[in-house]
Structure 1
Amino acid sequence: MIPKETPPQQQQEEGSDQAEMERRSQAPGSPRRPPPSEEIEEETPPRRTKLLSDIYETCNFIMLEPENFETAVKHKVWVQAMEEEIKMIEKNNTWELTDRPKDKEVIGVKWIYKTKLNADGSIQHKARLVAKDILKLPEIHVEQPQGFIAKGLKKVLRLKKALYGLKQAPRAWYSRIDKYFIDRGFRRSLSEPTLYIRAQGNDTLIVSLYVDDLIYTGNNEKMIQDFKEDMMKTFEMSDLGLMHFFLGIEINQEKEGIFICQRKYTETLLKKFKMESCKTVTTPLVTGEKYQKEDGSQKVDGSMYRSLIGSLLYLTATRPDIMFATSLLSRFMQSPSQVHYAVAKEF
């Protein structure tokens, strides 16, 4: 999947056509930050907005992801998703049907069902076939998947390429995608092995790889379009349009720039640590207060405290104002007290 991110400089330089494209790509009802020149009328009533991620959760609630094959096979959308997965596996020449070996173990396979959100807000049903055991053997045989048994149980499938769930699968995928980029003139970043850059004169294309998701940006629209078409042709990936959500960060792309926040991530933290009804504070720490390793209060669960501090550290990506307080409290992760835990929950 290759969500596209438009750089701020390019957004500002492009004319009304680009602005219109961004408006069409914006999530329905997503928050928009007005430019300084706009005046907000006091009579305007407040409106509640929804991001695509909110709509996605609602759809997931209505149509739950099946936990097993027996449930999925009752629904046409999941049957079609499984057929597409088998078609893709066979197109990639991943396996071949063979006799069951007598001296080798045959690994079972299972279906995993997920729903994903398309750029237009529609739901995409994905079925993925994975190996049940994480093994690394020179030759691997797997059982035929449920619903697609070709010639009876006496036949099995000998893998010619890595299948999801196997220990060698991540390395096999990275080797393939890395070769793809290098063959097409990309340069791998020395500091970040999953970041690829291709420069042609004054034009630059940057691609960031996260497992099987790609984020790309550049200053030449034709260069971007050619790359997208080649990727979709080679790997049959789907284009998710302008990026609006990635790794817990919400992205709102406007003509005035790119704005990021972690609203959904923050709400999840509040639920996790049972703070839905907490009150807000103006500063993360009490001014002039000093904190010590041994403050006389009772010790608390260290794993829960470390989980909270780690979550807050990730939140500093969009909230640098809590960086000092979080860094200060991270000193006590080895032996936290009730005071430390209470202060951390006041952010």
Structure 2
Amino acid sequence: MVDEPKTYNQAITNENWKKAMLTEIQALQDNHTWELTELPAGKTPIGCKWVYKLKMKSDGSIERYKARLVAKGYTQQLGIDYIETFSPVARITTIRTFLAVASSRSWHVHQLDVNNAFLHGDLTEEVYMTLPPGFNTEKPNQVCRLLRSLYGLKQASRQWNEKLCTALLSIGFDQSKSDPSLFTKGKGDKFIAVLVYVDDILVTSPNISQITDLKSFLDETFSIKDLGKVGYFLGIEAVMNSSGLHLSQRKYALDILTEEGFLECKPVNTPMVPGHQLQHDDGVPLADVSKYRRLVGRLLYLTATRPDIAYTVQQLSQYIDAPTDSHLSAAHRVLRYIKSSLGQGLFYPKGVDLQLNVFSDSDWASCVDTRKSITGYCIFLGTSLISWKSKKQATVSRSSSEAEYRALATTVCEVQ
């Protein structure tokens, strides 16, 4: 297994990482990301560093070596180096709905990645940065004045999203009011939909020529990497066949088991002991709480395609402030359950009716610590499960009817 270097001095000894850094610098220069200049009086440059990442395929093999030059945005000053930072990303429910509709209608679904996406954003602020490690100039004491946004800058994601939105709107796309990351255009055979998650993009259309034309436009405007038919998106494996689309996070689940040392564990049939209720002060407090918090965080993302563990992970999430050995033991049982069902996920069949079917429920005062109730719902588009939730209610309900009404209100909000 190849290790990812932590510093520039470690990376420079490896030809693959050296080549990756040269490729990144060349991309930055071709994009006119900065200009070299003397630092004006009264200005303080922000720092930068190299970040190294191995890009893996779904089968675990190395796809490519990636070196990214990242600005130390945490040193930026509000009102001087940046103003606004917010940038939308697609909701996971929107992604599942997007794929469910496409699968039902037997549309083409392709994915693409924008090369050096954040570098395309234009900066309106005057930002100076120190020279990248390993980058030398003929004149001493020079700095980089950033003309384009750079990874690590607080406003980088916002500037890129604004640039992409402007480009899509300019060619006739309509931006969804429910989720600003979704863009649609045309009707019938001319219909095309685009879903954006930072620099990862999904495109679907009944007409492959529509997708091809959009790819050509985006490649001319930004330079993209065409990844073809959807296969591995945001850690989710998508397999399309004649009967429909199957979504799973098998590789992600394997990574969790490997990291926690549960790859050879004995599997169990349920994620939680039936009837067992966790309590806040149940057990001995953990000396190192970070391990528990990281595990629960990773399990939370696994629920993107695993509704079967949603309730259990919701229970575990209640105790991240002060976890005990009892809570950790319950989390380990989830890992043993995952071992028994690694490839389990969602299936979106072809040719089904797209009628919404919604189910809502709640318990009453089940939390022994707060006496709050838990809301649960699941929403189907035809037979495709697109949204679900298990969450503790914000206030104490004084009756089971009140708890049910709160659950219904939450469900209706999601449906709308």
Out of 208, 211, 222, the residue aligned to residue 235 of structure 1 is 222
* Alpha-carbon contact 1:207-1:216 (below 8 Å) kept: yes
| Cα 1:71/1:332, change in 2 over 3 Å | closer
Structure 1 segment 207-218 matched on structure 2, within 5 A? 207-218=194-205
Q: Which residue of 1 aligns with 2:33?
A: 94
Cα distance in structure 2, aligned partners of 1:278 and 1:310: 21
Does 76-85 or 105-114 show the bigger shift? Answer: 76-85
* Alpha-carbon contact 1:300-1:341 (below 8 Å) kept: no
Amino acid across the alignment from 1:250? E
Q: Which residue of 2 aligns with 1:317?
A: 304
Are 1:183 and 2:123 counterparts? no
Cα distance in structure 2, aligned partners of 1:332 and 1:76: 45
RMSD: 3.3
Q: CA-to-partner distance for each residue in 1:193-247, whole Å, 9 max, x for gaps?
A: 2222222444322222222222222221000011112212211121223333233
* Alpha-carbon contact 2:54-2:62 (below 8 Å) kept: no
Are 1:127 and 2:67 counterparts? yes
SS of structure 2 residue aligned to 1:284 = coil
Q: CA-to-partner distance for each residue in 1:252-292, whole Å, 9 max, x for gaps?
A: 232332222222222233244443343222233445x3426
Amino acid across the alignment from 1:207? V
1:87 Cα deviation from its structure 2 partner: 3.2
Q: Which residue of 1 aligns with 2:341?
A: none
Q: Which residue of 2 aligns with 1:81?
A: 20
The answer to which structure, 1 or 2, has the higher relative contact order (CA under 8 A, 6+ apart) is: 1
Are 1:279 and 2:266 counterparts? yes
What stretches of structure 1 of length at least 5 have no aligned partner?
1-60
* Alpha-carbon contact 1:81-1:126 (below 8 Å) kept: yes
Normalised TM-score (structure 1):
0.68
What stretches of structure 2 of length at least 5 have no aligned partner?
82-124, 335-416
* Alpha-carbon contact 1:118-1:240 (below 8 Å) kept: no
| Cα 1:97/1:67, change in 2 over 3 Å | same
Out of 293, 301, 309, the residue aligned to residue 279 of structure 2 is 293
Normalised TM-score (structure 2):
0.58
Cα distance in structure 1, aligned partners of 2:51 and 2:272: 45
* Alpha-carbon contact 1:299-1:335 (below 8 Å) kept: no
Amino acid across the alignment from 1:128? R
Cα distance in structure 1, aligned partners of 2:238 and 2:293: 27
Amino acid across the alignment from 1:204? F
Amino acid across the alignment from 2:198? V
Give the paired residue count.
Answer: 284
The percent identity for this pair of structures is: 37
Amino acid across the alignment from 2:30? K
Out of 108, 121, 132, the residue aligned to residue 145 of structure 1 is 132
